[in-house]
Amino acid sequence: MIEQLLANPITLLCLVISLAVVVAGLVFAITSPRLFLLVIKNLRRNLVRTMLTCLATMVLVAMVTMIWTVIYTLDMVTTEKSKDFKLVVTERWQIPSQMPMTHADYVNPESPKFLPELKGMIGPNDFMTWSFYGGTLDPTKFTRENLLFMFVMNPKHIRSMMDELDTLDPALVKKLEDTRTGVLLGPERLAMINKKVGERIKVTSLNYKGINLELEIVGELPAGRYDQSAIMSDAYFNDELDKYARTTGQKHPLDNKRLNLIWLRVRDRDTFNRVGEIVENSPYFSDRPVKVETASSGIGAWLDAYRDLLWGVKWLLVPAILVSMALVVANAISISVRERYTEMAVLKVLGFRPNSILTLVLGESMLVGALAGFGAALLALLGINFALGGIKFPIAFFPAFFVPIWALAWGLAMGAGAAFLGSILPAQKACSVKVSEVFSKVA
Amino acid sequence: MQGQPIVRVRGVHKYFTRGEEQIDVLKNLSLEVPEGEFLGLMGPSGSGKTTLLNLIAGLDRPSEGEVWIRDQLISKMSEAALASWRTRNIGFIFQFYHLLPVLTAYENVELPLLLLPLSSAERQKQVLTALDLVGLTNRMHHRPGQLSGGQQQRVGIARAVVTDPTLIVADEPTGDLDAHSAEEILNLLCELQKSLRKTILLVTHDPRAAERAQRIVHLDKGRLVEGDTSTAIRPAPVGAVAGMQETAIKQQGS
């Protein structure tokens, strides 16, 4: 968690701002309870205006929270880790990568062809192959509900290599290993095809023509990242390709292209560099050259198509929303201050220093901003994660994006920050009120 | 019997500029007010009464000259220092009361005390004493909107005296009141002056209000014209004032 925080300076900054705002608010409320009460009473003075400001801030914070959830998640998966690197081996010159299965043998520690130079750098649990199989449950009617896209892999590597599946029930993995035709489905995909665990399905392939599968649903993947995913065993898939060759007398056109990715895990960057150099320069891969990159840079390459869009969202849309939020607060506080110039002057006459008046005005706006921001983020967290099942934004491999717990810090910091920026000028104006001028106008 | 001058205004000149034009509001004005005096400041509109009051109360600075309160040259103080000084030394009574509408009478009176290092028990005692002095303990939980003009002004007076200030300045305190309420307020000011020996500066247009002062000075076109002394002070409600005195003495002692 700390690593996540340090890797994301904006979240770290929001956390620091949030803590500072909460501590400052508590100190103010405890040391000057009567002045804190005055702040509350001033906010209640025009309840409609306060509520509208609050509501506008909440809507804008909720929007930014949703947008930032997507950006944050993509940032996280494309940020390099400092240890436990995952390497992705793919075909160098072609997208999508389609390699012969023999390529895997040279980097599989359990294979007799394993490159001796890699010994000690890759363990048996640090290897995994990926093939992608797409099919339909109803070849006469292609609908989104009938489609099934599956990750084909060795079940015994699921828990050790797949992100967020390290806590998957070992009994499920065992069931997938034991049931040659087994498949695990995500809860949403299961609901979409209207099937239950234990039922059988027939899948007509879309990418491997003629390789049609009869699968048994042996279990459900956990909700979240794998909501719409499906995982099947590579043993059945490979057998079916071999069977195709036996029955038709010729290899399937994709037989020698069935391996899409190889994942390897190494302990640190140094090992990553060495493994990358060995694999990329190995003569065994010369017929179909490969490239080695980190998993994050691999995903980053997938996201390249969205790069401009994401840049615009991150650096144009989000700042524009924050500026709008600051302007909403500025407008409300300016009106409030203008209405109370005489009161500010009275406070000065009573002995309030300019800084005390500045604190009172900033306190009003920041209390509204911080509470509205925190409330919006909390609602977004609960509503999106639990009621809506994530933000369904179809980008890269992500079926849905989930609001992280850090969103509470984003919300509070955004609300308080925008309130601060929006109210600093009106507050400055309030504390520089000239008493003699105000009363000469009143008289 | 009056003591040493508590207010010393020396050669004060105050002008404002409008474009290239210089508007002289006070011209080479000097004034001394002895401790415990009830001084009435009269003059036509635009004569500079309020400006003089603001200078003495530390709300404004002279363009030239000096303003001393006791032994402090307030005309040279920084704004922050003046703010602290005002809390302890000046009680200001406004024509339009200027109570904070969101606060109750109690909370309005308590407001200046929040700036002083007092415990909440001490604050409460002083607020109750001040409200008792103006006869409003029974309305202390009412907001200004729920009080009459006279009652609001009494809350304003309680707020002005709650810190036991050196000097009370009142700018047309009866200007917005009916005759009966105005009479009550003036009686109250007289009581404060007589029983607590408070120095009071009263700016007024109203000759009847000015009559209550021990000395009246007239301002005309920024210059001072001293007038006759007139005193007609009514007896104070001893219990309430005694309570106030007791608190003041204790505070000084601590």
Q: Where do the domains of chain A lie?
A: 2-79+306-442, 94-288
User: Contact A352/B115, CB-based, under 8 Å?
Assistant: yes
Q: Chain A within 8 Å of B59 (Cβ-Cβ)?
A: yes
| pLDDT of A330 over the 50 cut | yes
User: Contact B83/A38, CB-based, under 8 Å?
Assistant: no
| Neighbouring-strand partners of residue A266 | A85
Q: What angle in degrees, to the nearest 10, is found between the helix axes of A318-339 and A47-78?
A: 160
Helix (H, G, I), strand (E, B) or coil at B12: strand
pLDDT in tens, B186-217: 888 888 888 888 899 999 888 888 888 999 99
Structurally, chain B folds into a number of domains equal to 1
| pLDDT of B252 over the 60 cut | no
The rounded distance, in Å, linking the Cα atoms of A233 and A128 is: 12
Query: Taking residues A336-352, what's their average pLDDT?
Result: 90
> Which pLDDT score, from 0 to 100, does residue A399 have?
67
Which of B79, B98, B102 comes nearest A45 by C-beta? B102
Instruction: Give B101 or A287, the one with higher predicted confidence.
Output: B101
User: Contact A44/B171, CB-based, under 8 Å?
Assistant: no
Grade residue A336 by pLDDT with cuts at 50, 70 and 90.
confident
B73, two tokens:
């040259």
> Which pLDDT score, from 0 to 100, does residue B211 have?
86
What percent of chain A stands above pLDDT 90? 37
pLDDT in tens, A258-282: 899 899 888 887 888 888 888 888 8
- On whether the CB atoms of residues A351 and B112 are closer than 8 A, the answer is yes
Burial of A181 (0-12, 13-18, 19+ CB in 10 A): middle
> Which pLDDT score, from 0 to 100, does residue B242 have?
42
> Which pLDDT score, from 0 to 100, does residue A298 have?
65
The rounded distance, in Å, linking the Cα atoms of B19 and A166 is: 78
| pLDDT of B243 over the 60 cut | no
pLDDT in tens, A178-221: 988 999 999 888 888 888 899 999 999 888 888 899 999 999 99
Query: Taking residues B220-239, what's their average pLDDT?
Result: 54
> Which pLDDT score, from 0 to 100, does residue A3 have?
67
pLDDT in tens, B60-109: 899 999 999 998 999 899 888 888 899 999 999 988 889 999 999 999 99
Instruction: Give B176 or B77, the one with higher predicted confidence.
Output: B77
Which of A348, A436, A443 comes nearest B83 by C-beta? A348
A28-32, A72-76, A262-266: least confident range: A72-76
A199-203, A367-371, B99-103, B173-177: least confident range: B173-177
A352 vs B contacts (CB less than 8 Å): 83, 115
| pLDDT of A440 over the 90 cut | no
User: Contact B101/A45, CB-based, under 8 Å?
Assistant: yes
User: Contact A436/B95, CB-based, under 8 Å?
Assistant: no
Grade residue A397 by pLDDT with cuts at 50, 70 and 90.
low
Q: Chain A within 8 Å of B124 (Cβ-Cβ)?
A: no
Whether B69 is covered by a domain: the verdict is no
Radius of gyration of chain B (CA): 18
Nearest chain A residue to B60 by CA: give it: A436
| pLDDT of B24 over the 70 cut | yes
> Which pLDDT score, from 0 to 100, does residue A1 have?
65
User: Contact A349/B110, CB-based, under 8 Å?
Assistant: no
Which of A45, A351, A356 comes nearest B86 by C-beta? A351
Max mean pLDDT among A173-177, A266-270, A291-295 falls in A173-177
A326, two tokens:
């600051």
Grade residue A442 by pLDDT with cuts at 50, 70 and 90.
very low
| Secondary structure, 3-state, chain A | CHHHHHHCHHHHHHHHHHHHHHHHHHHHHHHCHHHHHHHHHHHHHCHHHHHHHHHHHHHHHHHHHHHHHHHHHHHHHHCCCCCCEEEEEEECCCCCCCECCHHHHCCCCCCCCCCHHHCCCCCHHHEEEEEEEEEECCCCCCCHHHEEEEEEECHHHHHHHCCCCCCCCHHHHHHHHHCCCEEEECHHHHHHCCCCCCCEEEEEECCCCCCCEEEEEEEECCCCCCCCCEEEEHHHHHHHHHHHHHHHCCCCCCHHHCECEEEEEECCHHHHHHHHHHHHHCHHHCCCCEEEEEHHHHHHHHHHHHHHHHHHHHHHHHHHHHHHHHHHHHHHHHHHHHHCHHHHHHHHHHCCCHHHHHHHHHHHHHHHHHHHHHHHHHHHHHHHHHHCCCECCCECCECCECCCCCHHHHHHHHHHHHHHHHHHHHHHHHHCCCHHHHHHHHC
Measured between alpha carbons, how far is residue A374 from residues A28, A60, A62, A370, A423 in Å? 19, 12, 10, 6, 18
The rounded distance, in Å, linking the Cα atoms of B61 and B51 is: 10
> Which pLDDT score, from 0 to 100, does residue B21 have?
86
pTM as predicted:
0.70
> Which pLDDT score, from 0 to 100, does residue A79 have?
65
Sheet containing B215-220: give its strands across. Answer: B90-93, B167-171, B199-203, B38-42, B215-220, B223-226
Q: Chain A within 8 Å of B114 (Cβ-Cβ)?
A: yes
> Which pLDDT score, from 0 to 100, does residue B104 have?
95
B57 vs A contacts (CB less than 8 Å): 349
User: Contact A34/B114, CB-based, under 8 Å?
Assistant: yes
Which of A41, A352, A356 comes nearest B103 by C-beta? A41
- On whether the CB atoms of residues A259 and A237 are closer than 8 A, the answer is no
Residue A206 Cα to chain centre, angstroms:
30
User: Contact B87/A350, CB-based, under 8 Å?
Assistant: yes
Our CA-based measurement puts residue A73 at a distance from the nearest CA of chain B, in whole angstroms, of 46
> Which pLDDT score, from 0 to 100, does residue A395 have?
67
ipTM of the modeled complex: 0.84
User: Contact A44/B111, CB-based, under 8 Å?
Assistant: no
A128, two tokens:
């995994």
> Which pLDDT score, from 0 to 100, does residue B239 have?
39
Structural domain harbouring B158: 33-59+79-253
Question: For residue A394, is the peptide bond before it cis, meaning its omega torsion is within 30 degrees of 0?
Answer: no
Q: Spell out where chain B has E strands.
A: 5-18, 21-34, 38-42, 64-69, 72-73, 90-93, 167-171, 199-203, 215-220, 223-226
Which of B59, B96, B101 comes nearest A435 by C-beta? B59
> Which pLDDT score, from 0 to 100, does residue A441 have?
54
User: Contact B83/A351, CB-based, under 8 Å?
Assistant: yes
**Could you tell me the CATH number of the domain that includes residue B202?**
3.40.50.300
Helix (H, G, I), strand (E, B) or coil at B186: helix
A38 vs B contacts (CB less than 8 Å): 100, 102-103, 107
User: Contact B95/A41, CB-based, under 8 Å?
Assistant: no
A20-24, A138-142, A219-223, B240-244: least confident range: B240-244
Whether B15 is covered by a domain: the verdict is no
Straight-line distance from the first to the last Cα atom of chain B, in angstroms, rounded to the nearest whole number = 27
- On whether the CB atoms of residues A434 and A43 are closer than 8 A, the answer is no
Q: Chain A within 8 Å of B86 (Cβ-Cβ)?
A: yes
B79 vs A contacts (CB less than 8 Å): 353-354
Query: Taking residues B108-115, what's their average pLDDT?
Result: 93
Query: Taking residues A378-407, what's their average pLDDT?
Result: 83
> Which pLDDT score, from 0 to 100, does residue A420 have?
93
> Which pLDDT score, from 0 to 100, does residue B227 have?
55
Query: Taking residues A8-16, what's their average pLDDT?
Result: 90
User: Contact A349/B92, CB-based, under 8 Å?
Assistant: yes
> Which pLDDT score, from 0 to 100, does residue B181 have?
86
Mean pLDDT of all residues in chain A?
87
pLDDT in tens, A132-153: 999 999 888 878 788 889 999 9
> Which pLDDT score, from 0 to 100, does residue B196 have?
83
| pLDDT of A128 over the 50 cut | yes
Grade residue A167 by pLDDT with cuts at 50, 70 and 90.
confident
B172 vs A contacts (CB less than 8 Å): 443
